[in-house]
C-alpha cells in the first residue's frame, strides 16, 4: 500500500516564507534554528496566535479566527471552569499518584461510569501516545504476541512503539516489522451496505495471516474508531465483525478514542459505542484536560490486572493532582451542560448545511461524520470520485484567510477535517457554513481562470 502523510499534507513550506510579515518570518527562522526540522506548521501562511477564548483565537495583529479544528480545547479555549480548577489545585497540592488522594479516585469512578460495565479499570498517562503505548504493552503481555494490525493511514502517536504502527508518519518512515496494514472501511468507494463490515473484517484477518506467515504472533488490532486519519470514515458501523476477526486471531481490540472520544462523535460519548461493541482496551487523550496534558487507558480488569500483577507501572504526571483537576472540570462541564446532546444536534445541523452546499459546489463529493466531527471529501470528478488534494489544500488555506481554521486528512489529503468545539452555537455553525461557501466559490473561480 502506498502511504502519504497528513503531517506534511497540512504543512507550511519554507518556499512561502518570503510572503510573510517580517515578525513571522523571523519567528520561523528561530523555530528552525532551535527546534529543528521535524516540527511542522499549518497553512501556507502560518497563524501567529496570541490569545484564545471559547470558539475563537486571535493572531498577533488582532485578527479573529473561528476555530473549527482544535480538539484539545474541546469545551472551548480558556474555559473558566478548567482555569479555576487548575489554579486552585496548583495552589493546594501538586503531587503524583503514589500518595493517597481522593481526587484521582473520584475522577476515575466518574470516568468509568461513562463506559460499559466490563471496562472497569483505568490507568493514567500524559498523552494519547503514552496511552496507546501502554495499551500495546498490555496487549502483548496478555496474548504473548507482538504483531499489530492498523489501518492504512492510521496515526496513533509519537513514542517509538506507536510511531512504528502509524503509517500516517509517511512513506519514508519505516514501520515496525511487527506491523501489518489493513485497508480502511471507505464506504464512499467500497459501498456502504452491510457487506462493508464483512469486507473490513476480511482485511483484518488477512493482515493477521500475513503476520503469522512471517512468524509473528498477533497481539492487537488498534483502530481510531472514526478512522480520522483515513479520511473520517464514520459509517456504517463496521467494528463488530472486526472485533470478532481480531479475537479469532488471538489478538485484542484496542479502541483509540483520542480523537473521537469525550462526546466528539455525539451522544454515544465514545466512538466505539456507535458500533455497539465493547473493546478490550480503550485509549484516551487530547480533549481530556482541555489543554492540560492528561490521558488514560481503560480496560477489562482481567486483562489490566494480569499485566499489573507482574509489571509495576508508575507515571510521574499521569494521575497527578493538577492534570486530574483539569480532567475533572472537563468531564463535569461535558455532563452538566449536556454537551453530548449538543454535539449530536449541532453535528446534524452542520452536515445538513454542507450537504446543501454540495448542491451548488460540485467539488464536494461526500459529506460524512458523527457529532461534531466532519469529513468533506473534495473531488475533481464526482462520477469517478477522483480525489483532489490540490483543491482541498486550497480550500484549507482560503478558509484560513477568511478566518476559519480546519485541516485535511485521508490518504490523498483531500478530505476536509472539521472538528468544532463542543461548545459551538448555532451562530458558530452558520458562520462556518457561510465561510465554507465563500471559500468554495473563490476556489472554483480561481480554478477556472
Q: Where residue 2 falls among pLDDT bands split at 50, 70, 90? A: very low
Mean pLDDT of 81-109: 95
In order, the DSSP letters of 335-389 are HHTTHHHHHHHHHHHHHHHHHHHHTT-TTEEEEEEETTEEEEEEEEETTTTEE-H
Return mean pLDDT, the chain: 93
At a CB cut-off of 8 Å and minimum separation 6, what does 208 contact? 147, 149, 180, 218, 221, 245, 246, 249, 251
Residue 320 confidence (pLDDT): 94
pLDDT in tens, 365-406: 999 999 999 999 999 999 999 999 999 999 999 999 999 999
The cell numbers describing 395, all together, are 480550500
Mean pLDDT of 172-195: 90
Give the right CATH number for 6-77+338-448 from 3.40.630.10, 3.90.1150.10, 3.30.200.20, 3.20.20.60.
3.90.1150.10
Is residue 7 scored above 90 in pLDDT?
Answer: no
Kindly report the number of other CB atoms within 10 A of residue 313's CB atom. Answer: 14
Taking the C-alpha atoms of residue 390 and residue 409, their distance in angstroms, rounded to an integer, is 13
Residue 16 confidence (pLDDT): 62
**Alpha helices of 48-97 — where are they, by DSSP H?**
80-90
Name the one residue in this structure whose C-alpha cell is 457561510. 434
Q: Where residue 102 falls among pLDDT bands split at 50, 70, 90? A: very high
Residue 5 confidence (pLDDT): 60
Could you tell me where in the chain the CATH 3.90.1150.10 domains are found? 6-77+338-448
Q: Where residue 26 falls among pLDDT bands split at 50, 70, 90? A: confident
Whole-prediction pTM? 0.94
Share of the chain above pLDDT 70, in %: 95
pLDDT in tens, 31-73: 888 888 877 788 888 899 999 999 999 999 999 999 999 999 9
CATH numeric code, 80-336:
3.40.640.10
Mean pLDDT of 356-370: 97
Could you tell me where in the chain the CATH 3.40.640.10 domains are found? 80-336
Is residue 4 scored above 90 in pLDDT?
Answer: no
Residue 11 confidence (pLDDT): 62
Mean pLDDT of 354-371: 98
Is residue 3 scored above 90 in pLDDT?
Answer: no
CA 13 to chain CA centroid, Å, is 24
Is residue 1 scored above 50 in pLDDT?
Answer: no
Residue 28 confidence (pLDDT): 80
At a CB cut-off of 8 Å and minimum separation 6, what does 194 contact? 236
HSE toward the beta carbon, residue 101, CA cutoff 13 A = 19
Amino acid at each position: 500500500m502506498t502511504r502519504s502523510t497528513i503531517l506534511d499534507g497540512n504543512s507550511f513550506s519554507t518556499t512561502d516564507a518570503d510572503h510573510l510579515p517580517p515578525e513571522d518570518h523571523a519567528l520561523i527562522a528561530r523555530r528552525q534554528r532551535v527546534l529543528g526540522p521535524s516540527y511542522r506548521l499549518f497553512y501556507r501562511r502560518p497563524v501567529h496566535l496570541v490569545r484564545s477564548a471559547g470558539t475563537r483565537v486571535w493572531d498577533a495583529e488582532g485578527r479573529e479566527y473561528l476555530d473549527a479544528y482544535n480538539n484539545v480545547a474541546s469545551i472551548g479555549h480558556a474555559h473558566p471552569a478548567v482555569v479555576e480548577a487548575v489554579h486552585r489545585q496548583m495552589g493546594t497540592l501538586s503531587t503524583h499518584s503514589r500518595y493517597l488522594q481522593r481526587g484521582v479516585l473520584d475522577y476515575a469512578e466518574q470516568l468509568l461510569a461513562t463506559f460499559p460495565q466490563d471496562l472497569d479499570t483505568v490507568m493514567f498517562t500524559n498523552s494519547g501516545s503514552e496511552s496507546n503505548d501502554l495499551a500495546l504493552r498490555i496487549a502483548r503481555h496478555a496474548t504473548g504476541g507482538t504483531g499489530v494490525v492498523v489501518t492504512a493511514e492510521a496515526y496513533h502517536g509519537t513514542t517509538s512503539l506507536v510511531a512504528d504502527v502509524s503509517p500516517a508518519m509517511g512513506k519514508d518512515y519505516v514501520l515496525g516489522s511487527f506491523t501489518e496494514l489493513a485497508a480502511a472501511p471507505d464506504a464512499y468507494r467500497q459501498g456502504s451496505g452491510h457487506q462493508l463490515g464483512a469486507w473490513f473484517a476480511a482485511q483484518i484477518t488477512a493482515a493477521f495471516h500475513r503476520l503469522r506467515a512471517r512468524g509473528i504472533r498477533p497481539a492487537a488490532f488498534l483502530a481510531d474508531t472514526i478512522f480520522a486519519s483515513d479520511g473520517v470514515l464514520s459509517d456504517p458501523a463496521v467494528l463488530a465483525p472486526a472485533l470478532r476477526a481480531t479475537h479469532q486471531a488471538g489478538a485484542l481490540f484496542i479502541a483509540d478514542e483520542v480523537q473521537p472520544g469525550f462526546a466528539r462523535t455525539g451522544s454515544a460519548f465514545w466512538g466505539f459505542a456507535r458500533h455497539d461493541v465493547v473493546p478490550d482496551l480503550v485509549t484516551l487523550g487530547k480533549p481530556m484536560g482541555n489543554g492540560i496534558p492528561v490521558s488514560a487507558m481503560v480496560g477489562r480488569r482481567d486483562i489490566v490486572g494480569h499485566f499489573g500483577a507482574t509489571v509495576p507501572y508508575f507515571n510521574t504526571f499521569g494521575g497527578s493532582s493538577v492534570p486530574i483537576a483539569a480532567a475533572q472540570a472537563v468531564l463535569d462541564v461535558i455532563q452538566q451542560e449536556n454537551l453530548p446532546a449538543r454535539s449530536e444536534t449541532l453535528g446534524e445541523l452542520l452536515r445538513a448545511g454542507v450537504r446543501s452546499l454540495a448542491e451548488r459546489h460540485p467539488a464536494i463529493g461526500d459529506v460524512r461524520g458523527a457529532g461534531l466531527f466532519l469529513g468533506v471529501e473534495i473531488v475533481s470528478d464526482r462520477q469517478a470520485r477522483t480525489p483532489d488534494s490540490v483543491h482541498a489544500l486550497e480550500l484549507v488555506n482560503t478558509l484560513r484567510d477568511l478566518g476559519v481554521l480546519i485541516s485535511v486528512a485521508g490518504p490523498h489529503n483531500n478530505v476536509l477535517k472539521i472538528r468544532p468545539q463542543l461548545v459551538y452555537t448555532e451562530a458558530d455553525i452558520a458562520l462556518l457554513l457561510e465561510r465554507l461557501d465563500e471559500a468554495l466559490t473563490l476556489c472554483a473561480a480561481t480554478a477556472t481562470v
